[in-house]
């Protein structure tokens, strides 16, 4: 566990018109660790990560990646710096097969008689490779539409899309297990462990404290647009974090 | 577990599902062939009649190809008929009135069609006019322009290039329009399966938000589809002009629904994301065969419209029924038919089919050579 955070957000404030969604929030995420962000609905969790992934721009505040100051005009800018997100809705095109989804917007091509066409075969083998090597997942079929896969498998495809970029350093996961059954949830948590072991900084938004205590290294508690707690998971307890979430106890 | 085992576990239903699109129109084509083989084999299966069917189908192939892209993106284009007429009228005027060479006038017509498609696309994406309203309104605009330009004139007798495109034949008996039609379908197939445009088309129809998130220029690709549709409509307009060796402002009135029907019958989903180019091809063939069959059976021309409508409704209903995954007792298609809901549906369908057959019989009785009254 390194001492300096990979991602630092300092004094982030975001206002939507007259509504202040975030006021002066700090965030620290470390490489090779899972940072869980917890908090009630409307606490500003999603806004915070949308600023980190370039979907929103902060009203005030600064962000640093490995000490270098970063700011993004768009989500694509964040991806270029190695920060990507897996959304709750997974952002998959259900009618396309997994390789097509994995390379959506970023297709591999080849030249046939001077004309650029999609390289279907290479995208297929690459998908198989990334799923196997990075996530340890094999799919029953890479040729059927993604809609025929289970929730967990669909999620693996969405994660594979993010980790395909070799320079990915920070992966944000927005409630990855919200729509999954117990068995698939366990698999997803395993996936998170696998990715963490590969040195990524994982930022996990979750409503399930059990899950948070199972996989996270640090917990960031968000309440009413502010960071009200930032603790090491091993030094805290379910009760203490719950107290911070509902505002019974203010942590330093 | 070996790969073979997992294959075997998949039910028959699951395995044929990807091919529903092509099985639907194929089954209908077979049924039609069977029916005609019993009722009117001599006249229906004549080589000259097959030729007629192919010539008719060829006219719709370019538009069906382009419409497959538009519909897959959750769009619709109700202006292809007017675009075809207006482009052809302008080309005809350039040639007949202004003495343009056909080698200039033809590309201008195709370019104008693409331009009209571009206008459609921009109206839909920039002004956020729903596609249904936007293209329906532009259909009126384009048709209006055609009427303004041509008044009631019928322009006829065109240079050889135009008539060759419309009804010429290559040595070896293959009509040129059929070659053009099949070539556009093949190009469409490659475009759909092997190009960025095709892949983004499916992604946009399947999940527009996801497409946007992955950085696809959603609006730009929507516009591309309408431009393609416009250009293909203009090509169809040229083919129609050549086929009849004449064109007027009111030509091509039934193009819109006919093309959409062919695409939808072919299994491309009106709800977006599911595309089948082979299905569209089969759909075009089916509609042309059906209309030809009505003519062969000496059923009045106007019944075509009834038949097209019935085919659209029944195929869309059939596809949505087959798509419904959460059917009770999702054993298989037969099992699904046996549920009480399925039986109700079956009775309702049987009632409608019966009513239609009755109507058709009435139509057949009153059909005959029109007699002068008074």
Q: pLDDT tens for residues B140-152?
A: 999 999 999 998 8
Mean pLDDT of B340-359: 79
For domain B20-317, say whether CATH 1.10.3470 is its number.
yes
Mean pLDDT of B95-102: 92
The ipTM of this complex is 0.80
Kindly tell me the burial class for residue B197, based on how many C-beta atoms sit within 10 Å of its own C-beta (0-12, 13-18, 19 or more).
Answer: middle
B interface with A, Cβ–Cβ < 8 A, is 6, 14, 18, 190, 194-196, 199, 202-203, 205-207, 209-211, 213-216, 273-274
Q: Identify the band that residue B372 occupies on the pLDDT scale cut at 50, 70 and 90.
A: low
pLDDT at A201 over 70: yes
Q: Is the CB of residue A232 less than 8 Å away from at least one CB of chain B?
A: no
Q: pLDDT tens for residues B179-222?
A: 999 999 999 999 999 999 999 999 999 999 889 888 889 999 99
Query: Tell me, what's the pLDDT at B10?
Result: 52
Q: Identify the band that residue B3 occupies on the pLDDT scale cut at 50, 70 and 90.
A: very low
**Kindly report the CA angle at A45 between A44 and A49, in degrees rounded to 5?**
115
Query: Tell me, what's the pLDDT at B341?
Result: 72
Mutate to test the interface with B, among A102, A104, A139 (most CBs of B within 10 A): A104
CB A238 within 8 A of CB A209: yes
Mean pLDDT of B272-287: 91
Question: A8 has which bridge partners?
Answer: A28, A64
Question: A36 has which bridge partners?
Answer: A204, A219
- Which of B36, B101, B31, B64 is closest to B292 using CA atoms? B36
Q: Is the CB of residue A76 less than 8 Å away from at least one CB of chain B?
A: yes
Cα dist from A5 to A2, A58, B202, B311, whole Å: 7, 20, 41, 64
- Distance (Å, whole) CA A202 – CA B84: 56
**Domain extent listing, chain B:** 20-317, 332-366
In chain A, the domains with their CATH numbers are 1-82+169-252 (3.40.50.300), 93-167 (no CATH)
Q: pLDDT tens for residues A37-68?
A: 999 888 889 899 999 998 899 999 999 999 89
Q: Which two tokens stand for residue A163?
A: 């980790």
Q: Which two tokens stand for residue A154?
A: 């669909």
CB B202 within 8 A of CB A96: yes
CB B39 within 8 A of CB B297: yes
Query: Tell me, what's the pLDDT at B323?
Result: 66
The pLDDT > 70 percentage for chain B reads 86
Q: Taking all residues of chain B, what is their mean pLDDT, rounded to a whole number?
A: 85
Which stretches does DSSP call E strand in chain B? 154-156, 246-248
Q: Identify the band that residue A75 occupies on the pLDDT scale cut at 50, 70 and 90.
A: confident
CA end-to-end span of chain A = 22
pTM > 0.90? no
Q: Identify the band that residue B21 occupies on the pLDDT scale cut at 50, 70 and 90.
A: low
Q: Which of A75, A89, A140 sits opposite B6 (nearest CB)?
A: A140
Residue A90 gets which letter from DSSP? T
Contact residues for B270 (Cβ-Cβ < 8 A; gap 6+) = B71, B76, B264, B316
Q: Taking all residues of chain A, what is their mean pLDDT, rounded to a whole number?
A: 88
**Residue pointed to by tokens 């869309």:** B316
The three-class DSSP label of residue B7 is: helix
Q: Which two tokens stand for residue B100?
A: 């343009």
Query: Tell me, what's the pLDDT at B352?
Result: 79
CB A203 within 8 A of CB A173: yes
The pLDDT > 90 percentage for chain A reads 35
């Amino acid at each position: 566990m390194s001492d300096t955070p990979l991602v630092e957000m300092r004094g982030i404030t975001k206002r939507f018109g007259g509504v202040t969604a975030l006021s002066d929030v700090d965030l620290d995420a470390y490489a090779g660790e899972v940072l869980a962000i917890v908090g009630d609905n409307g606490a500003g969790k999603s806004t915070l990560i949308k600023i980190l992934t370039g979907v929103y721009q902060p009203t005030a505040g600064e962000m640093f990646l490995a000490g270098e100051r970063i700011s993004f005009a768009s989500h694509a800018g964040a991806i270029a710096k190695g920060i990507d997100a897996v959304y709750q809705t997974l952002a998959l095109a259900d009618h396309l097969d997994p390789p097509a989804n994995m390379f959506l917007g970023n297709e591999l091509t080849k030249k046939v008689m001077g004309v650029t066409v999609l390289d279907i075969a290479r995208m297929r083998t690459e998908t198989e490779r990334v799923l196997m090597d990075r996530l340890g997942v094999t799919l029953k079929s890479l040729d059927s539409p993604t809609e025929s896969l289970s929730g967990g498998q669909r999620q693996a495809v969405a994660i594979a899309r993010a980790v395909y970029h070799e320079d990915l350093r920070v992966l944000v996961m927005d409630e990855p297990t919200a729509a999954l059954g117990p068995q698939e949830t366990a698999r997803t948590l395993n996936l998170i462990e696998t990715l963490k072991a590969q040195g990524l900084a994982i930022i996990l938004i979750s409503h399930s404290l059990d899950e948070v205590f199972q996989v996270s290294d640090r917990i960031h508690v968000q309440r009413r647009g502010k960071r009200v707690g930032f603790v090491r998971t091993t030094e805290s307890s379910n009760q203490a974090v719950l107290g911070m979430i509902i505002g019974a106890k203010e942590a330093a | 577990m070996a790969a073979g085992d997992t294959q075997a576990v998949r039910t028959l239903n699951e395995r044929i599902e990807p091919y529903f699109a092509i099985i639907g129109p194929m089954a209908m084509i077979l049924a039609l062939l069977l029916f005609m083989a019993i009722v009117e084999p001599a006249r229906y299966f004549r080589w000259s009649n097959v030729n007629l069917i192919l010539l008719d189908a060829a006219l719709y192939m370019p538009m069906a190809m382009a419409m497959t892209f538009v519909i897959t993106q959750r769009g619709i284009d109700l202006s292809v008929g007017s675009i075809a007429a207006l482009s052809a009228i302008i080309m005809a005027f350039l040639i007949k009135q202004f003495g343009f060479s056909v080698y200039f006038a033809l590309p201008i017509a195709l370019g104008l069609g693409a331009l009209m498609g571009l206008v459609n696309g921009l109206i839909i994406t920039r002004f956020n006019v729903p596609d249904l309203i936007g293209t329906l309104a532009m259909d009126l605009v384009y048709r209006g322009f055609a009427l303004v330009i041509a008044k009631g004139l019928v322009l006829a007798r065109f240079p050889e290039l135009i008539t060759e495109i419309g009804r010429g034949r290559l040595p070896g008996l293959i009509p040129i329009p059929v070659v053009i039609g099949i070539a556009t379908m093949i190009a469409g197939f490659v475009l759909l399966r092997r190009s960025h445009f095709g892949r983004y088309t499916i992604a946009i129809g399947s999940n527009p938000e996801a497409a946007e998130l992955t950085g696809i220029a959603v609006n730009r690709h929507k516009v591309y589809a309408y431009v393609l549709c416009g250009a293909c409509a203009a090509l169809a307009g040229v083919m129609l002009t050549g086929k009849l060796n004449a064109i007027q402002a009111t030509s091509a009135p039934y193009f819109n629904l006919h093309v959409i029907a062919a695409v939808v019958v072919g299994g491309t989903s009106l709800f977006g994301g599911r595309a089948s180019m082979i299905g569209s091809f089969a759909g075009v063939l089916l509609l042309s065969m059906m209309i030809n069959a009505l003519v062969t059976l000496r059923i009045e021309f106007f019944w075509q419209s009834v038949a097209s409508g019935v085919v659209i409704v029944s195929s869309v209903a059939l596809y949505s029924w087959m798509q419904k995954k959460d059917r009770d007792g999702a054993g298989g298609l037969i099992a699904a038919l046996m549920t009480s809901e399925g039986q109700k549906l079956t009775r309702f369908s049987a009632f409608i089919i019966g009513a239609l057959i009755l109507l058709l019989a009435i139509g057949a009785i009153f059909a005959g050579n029109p007699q002068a009254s008074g």
